Amino acid sequence: MTNLKSNFIQHQSCDSCGSKDNVAVYDDGHTWCFGCNTYGKGDRTYEPTVKRDMKFIDGTIQGLSKRRISEDTCRKWDYQTGEYNGRKVQIANYKNSSGSVVAQKLRMANKQFLFIGDASEAGLYGSHLWSEGGKRAVITEGEIDALSVSQALGNQWPVFSVPTGASGAPNAVRKSIEMLSKFDEVVILFDSDEAGSKASKECAQLLPPGKAKIGHLPLKDANEMVVAGKTKELVTCLWQAKPFRPDGIIQGSDLWDLVSSEDVASSCK
């Protein structure tokens, strides 16, 4: 199991599979390729994040009371609670288009994570539920945030989560561009911190022009909004998400507002 107390530094190319930027480099020196699952040791001893040869864990469906996530929401997403090596864990089941589990992401009580199965096939969490496209989709930075947004929307609207947080978000979105392009709009709702803001812009740039919007939360993440009883405010943040555009480019509607305001100012002189 990987000690996730190390910090992500940058992406680089992979000598094993030839990918340009699938390798994540961490500050203790260890590396991990999300494309071919190749692990490189650092200064300390680490085990790979992915346990490919392990059997999947059978858990049970139950609500997450501390997170204010209902049992119905967990059932919709097949988000389970179980045990791993005698420790209680939460289980996010990553499935392929046919609904078969290809990987499980285990969340420990100490906020460490472990992937079981083939993480390279995982894709975005929730992709098996909403792969046909539609009007709008939301992408969050974590599985529990995805459940939170889904629940706030009555579990009726497409929501996804990247599998490896902000650092791996651009790669995850890049691999899912074909599916995401089926939606009219994609709202990126990452954590309200520097890493989340940076990853939001990087992911937005990968989507077709005019498709990405970026949402901004008053609290740290979507689940904090739900726990604080601000579900309505969370939904409002989604509807008020601003269209992403590269610096220096002004949309026609914004240009009209700017010209109109200048005309009003001139008439008042």
pLDDT higher than 60, residue 266: no
Q: What is the largest CA-CA distance in the chain?
A: 75
pLDDT of residue 20: 63
How confident is the model over 218-244, as a mean pLDDT?
A: 97
Confidence class of residue 10 from pLDDT cuts 50, 70 and 90? low
Task: Give the whole-angstrom CA distance, residue 27 versus residue 186.
Answer: 32
Strands 23-26 and 8-12, by their bridges, are antiparallel
Give the residue from 190, 165, 41, 45 showing the smallest Cα distance to 113: 165
One-letter amino acid at 195 equals: A
What are the extents of the domains in the chain? 49-243
Please report the DSSP string for 188-251 in residue order: EE--SSHHHHHHHHHHHHHSPTT-EEE---SSSSHHHHHHTT-HHHHHHHHHTPEEP--TT---
CATH class of the domain at 49-243:
alpha beta
pLDDT of residue 153: 98
Task: Give the whole-angstrom CA distance, residue 107 versus residue 115.
Answer: 9
Q: Which string of b and e fits 239-262 if b means at least 16 CB within 10 Å?
A: eebeebeeeeeeeeeeeeeeeeee
Proportion of the chain above pLDDT 90, given as a percent: 60
pLDDT of residue 119: 73
pLDDT of residue 27: 53
**What is the DSSP code (8-state) at residue 158?**
-
Give the residue from 174, 127, 243 showing the smallest Cα distance to 22: 174
Confidence class of residue 121 from pLDDT cuts 50, 70 and 90? confident
Task: Give the whole-angstrom CA distance, residue 198 versus residue 90.
Answer: 28
pLDDT higher than 50, residue 2: no
How confident is the model over 36-60, as a mean pLDDT?
A: 64
The burial class, CB within 10 Å (0-12 / 13-18 / 19+), for 147 is buried
How confident is the model over 125-137, as a mean pLDDT?
A: 92
Cα radius of gyration rounded to whole Å, the chain: 20
pLDDT of residue 120: 75
Task: Give the whole-angstrom CA distance, residue 185 versus residue 97.
Answer: 21
How confident is the model over 36-40, as a mean pLDDT?
A: 70
pLDDT higher than 50, residue 248: no
Mean pLDDT, the chain, rounded, equals 83
Q: Which string of b and e fits 148-166 if b means at least 16 CB within 10 Å?
A: bbbbbbebebbbbbbbbbb
**Residues 222, 224, 225, 231: is their CA dihedral positive or negative?**
positive
pLDDT of residue 28: 58
pLDDT of residue 14: 76
Compare 137 and 9 and report the one with higher pLDDT.
Answer: 137
